[in-house]
Chains A and B, each alone.
Chain A
Amino acid sequence: MSKPRLDDATGVETVGHEWDGIEELNNPLPRWWLWSFYACIVFAIGYSVVYPAIPMLNTATAGTFGWSSRGDLDKEMKAESLRTAAIRSELDKASIEQIATDPRLRRAAIDGGRAAFKVNCIQCHGNGAAGSAGYPNLNDDDWLWGGDSAAIHQTLVNGIRQPGDDATRMSMMPAFGRDGILTAPQVQDVVSHVRLIAGEEKPSASAQRGAEIYTANCAVCHGANGEGSRAVGAPKLSDAIWLYGGDRKALTQTITNARYGVMPSWGNRLDPVTVKMLATYVHSLGGGEAAPAPAADPAAPVAPATVAQ
């Protein structure tokens, strides 16, 4: 090391190092900067002791504060359940019809139902509840078993064709083709007739033949004009909505082999409040029907034209 000297151009002392003629000016850092640096080191040591820091084989050191992000989540979830406890107990006490008529309860149930739907229902019914072939679209106004809040609630609680649930609802359409009740040409005639009453095809000789077969075999559940029956879960055939598709191929398949879609019963999987919230949410998707008016009530209440606060 050479000796420090004064640099001509700047009037600053050099530190005395020289590498190939390059020297360094001695512009010392302020000492408080050094102290801040030491303070940071001390802080870092303290931080590594009290918080999880040092990676070990399987996990990191726990830290004396016992902090963890899971613990944070746990706290948040507890706080959230505490926050919603009041409204949940109200929803618990209220019947599904009471929830439907109380705007505040209804709004809370819809919000909670939306969250529960995302966890439990979208696997089959889709994120937007639009369903797909075999899984009903919950946004529309076509309901196999009824579209008022109570009917949706019952479907949710007991499911459809849920094995082992005595109260589950089921319809057993015969497999007309596979079981030999109808021949393959007869099945095609029925397809023609069904598509005619749905407005998908023009009248034909096949449809005319199919009408007779329909009256003999199908009308008992689906109604003389294909209006369906919610009592037995028979789909309406005259509308624009098809659960498994309305083209000839899909209908042939349906009539030949029948379809037995299963909806799980949720009454034994989710708590009653969540089921009520789900029913209210599904009812709110745009196809929900008003509760059937009691016999004594002359008319259903007129829907308000103004959006309530």
Chain B
Amino acid sequence: MNAHDPKMSADHSNEIGMYEKRKAVFPKAIDGAFRRFKWLVMAVCLAIYWGTPWIRWDRGSYAPDQAVLIDMANRRFFMFNIEIWPHEFYFVAGLLIMAGIGLFLVTSVVGRAWCGYACPQTVWTDLFQHVDRLIDGDRNAQLRLQKAPWGPAKIARRGLKWGIYLGISFATGGAWIFYFADAPTLQYEFWTGTAAPVAYATTFVLTMTTFIFGGFMREQVCIYMCPWPRIQTAMLDEKSLLVTYKDWRGEPRGSVKSALKAATPLGDCIDCMQCVAVCPTGIDIREGPQIGCITCALCIDACDKAMADVGRPRGLIDYCTLDDAEREKRGETSVPILKTVFRPRTLVYLGVWSGIGLALLFALGQRERMDISIAKDRNPEYVTLSDGSVRNAYTLKLRNMESRPRTFRIELRGLDNGTIYTDEMDSTAARRQLTVEVPSDTTKPVRVYALVPRGSAPAEFALVLVATDKEGGTDISETTFTTAQGNGQ
């Protein structure tokens, strides 16, 4: 392109703004189907977030009674009747993969629905914008107050509003810590100043991030900081539902009055700017799909209301796929919604998503609540005793995942002339099987010696952990016995 293009605007000076001041957004209150749905989603999300740690769940006397608890100190994750140990972290990994694929699924069907309704940034921004309206009034009053010089009234209003922001932020940051410790206990400790320093630090950090991101950064987070809108843009296809301004119907735009005067008929858009006024990210949807659009659909509500006022059919701005937009432009009818939703891509996503879910459920039902693992001593590999017999040492980890103490039997399988004993027994008491009690919800290390008489060959063998209570259960772990001749492998 030529820099001396004649279209170059003459009134521009050479001053280039390298940085742009945030243009404050004052979204107007609106009511409508999507707004009511957003209210519902917000209520549900906030209720889940604030309520979950306070749900109690009886697990008997050996385990905490909090329904959802991430117990970092004891390395346990409780979720209702599921208890996850660190070695079972693949369940959490599986849930994360499901969440990822679930987002693919949702995005390919309904576009950026996550951004528009359920994302915490959206939920809290929405909440804070309601606070704005409560304190400052609706859009116009907010604009007036923004422009007004600082005086006692403005200071009082700002102070009150930011105080409420801070209160909500504190409640938000403070609620997070209850997922990591017994909520009522921590609540008491928190207020009496005896909670762990990390609880206060976490609360402080999350309070400040909520205060700043929800109160002031708002749509800047979505547009500049969040990678997700950009990833989602790549995952959308021509069959994903987007909030679409139907320009073929709306253009050329003009007010009802100007339409009467116009020589050629105008489109349905009356250019009332209500779609822009209600937008929480301050964009104009009529410019087409854009990164700033979180598809919250409030402009649909605004436009429907305006259309109703002037007696035109609703849906000038509506959820619409790119394919349907092309069809409608050509005057064809759009594809039925179910056919759009159930297409190969979404069905594959749904299949993978539910497949992982079913596999996790199956694994959850199948998992053993006891475990034996053996670490053989490698230094020394074997010890020759004075009578020529050979001894190997093993560190056993006996895991009892039930919330009650259990008695187990360790049995020797293979190593036909061998006996075992622990470091808490005398070697003369060595035998083929030992009894061990493991406390509830614990991995108990036990040091076991295996002994074979002089001249025995190296061998592979196994130790079997057998639960002696009526529920029973066994677990087996294989290892080797080393002598001067080798390790049996």
Contacts and interface: CB of A to CB of B under 8 A. Distances in A.
A203 interface: no
A32 interface: yes
Interface in B346-388: 377-380, 383-388
Contacts of A28: 17-20
A240 B388 contact: yes
Given A139-B383, A140-B386, A236-B386, A303 B20 contact: no
Given A28-B18, A306-B437, A127 B384 contact: no
Nearest to B217: A32
A245 interface: no
A303 B384 contact: no
Contacts of A32: 22, 217, 220
A237 to B, nearest CB: 11
B423 interface: yes
Interface in A87-106: 103
16 contacts: A1-B14, A2-B3, A4-B9, A5-B3, A7-B1, A21-B2, A29-B18, A31-B21, A32-B220, A34-B19, A140-B385, A140-B391, A303-B428, A305-B429, A305-B431, A306-B436
Given A306-B435, A307-B434, A26 B22 contact: no
Nearest to B383: A139
B471 interface: no
Interface in A284-309: 284, 286-287, 290, 302-309
Contact of B9 (A6, A26, A127, A236): A6
Contact of A33 (B17, B224, B385): B224
Nearest to A2: B3
A141 B386 contact: yes
| Residue among B8, B393, B436 with most chain A CB within 10 A | B8
Contacts of B19: 28-31, 33-34
A140 B393 contact: no
Contacts of B379: 126-128, 130
A261 interface: no
Contacts, number: 139
Interface of A: 1-8, 13, 15-16, 18, 21, 23, 26, 28-34, 103, 126-130, 137, 139-142, 199, 236, 239-241, 284, 286-287, 290, 302-309
Contacts of A4: 8-9, 12, 14, 16
Interface of B: 1-5, 7-9, 12, 14, 16-22, 217, 220, 224, 377-380, 383-388, 391, 393, 422-429, 431, 434-437, 439, 446, 449, 454
A137 B4 CA distance: 91
| Residue among A126, A236, A305 with most chain B CB within 10 A | A305
Contacts of A21: 1-2
What 8 A-B pairs have minimum CB-CB distances, sorted nearest first? Answer: A128-B379, A130-B380, A303-B426, A239-B386, A5-B8, A240-B388, A28-B20, A2-B3
Contacts of B386: 140-142, 236, 239-241
Given A2-B3, A32-B217, A307 B425 contact: yes
Contacts of A1: 14
Contacts of A286: 383, 391, 393, 423, 427, 449
A4 B449 CA distance: 83
Given A5-B7, A239-B386, 19 more contacts: A4-B9, A4-B16, A21-B2, A23-B1, A28-B19, A28-B20, A30-B20, A128-B379, A129-B380, A137-B380, A139-B380, A139-B393, A140-B384, A241-B386, A286-B423, A287-B383, A306-B437, A307-B424, A307-B437
A290 B3 contact: no
Contact of B425 (A30, A33, A305): A305
A130 to B, nearest CB: 3
Majority SS at the chain B contact face: loop
B400 to A, nearest CB: 13
Contacts of A129: 380
A80 B377 CA distance: 28
Contacts of B380: 126, 128-130, 137, 139
A284 B421 CA distance: 13
A127 B378 CA distance: 10
Nearest to A304: B425
A307 B446 contact: yes
B383 A309 contact: no
Contacts of A2: 3-4
A240 B454 CA distance: 9
A305 B435 contact: yes
Contact of B385 (A5, A8, A31, A141): A141
A5 B5 contact: yes
Nearest to A290: B426
Contacts of B14: 1, 3-4, 16
B13 to A, nearest CB: 9
Contacts of A29: 18-20
Contacts of B439: 309
B17 A284 contact: no
Contacts of B385: 140-142, 240-241, 287
B224 A30 contact: yes
A241 B454 CA distance: 12
Given A140-B384, A286-B393, A306-B437, A23 B224 contact: no
A26 B16 contact: yes
A285 to B, nearest CB: 9
Contacts of B428: 303
B425 A303 contact: yes
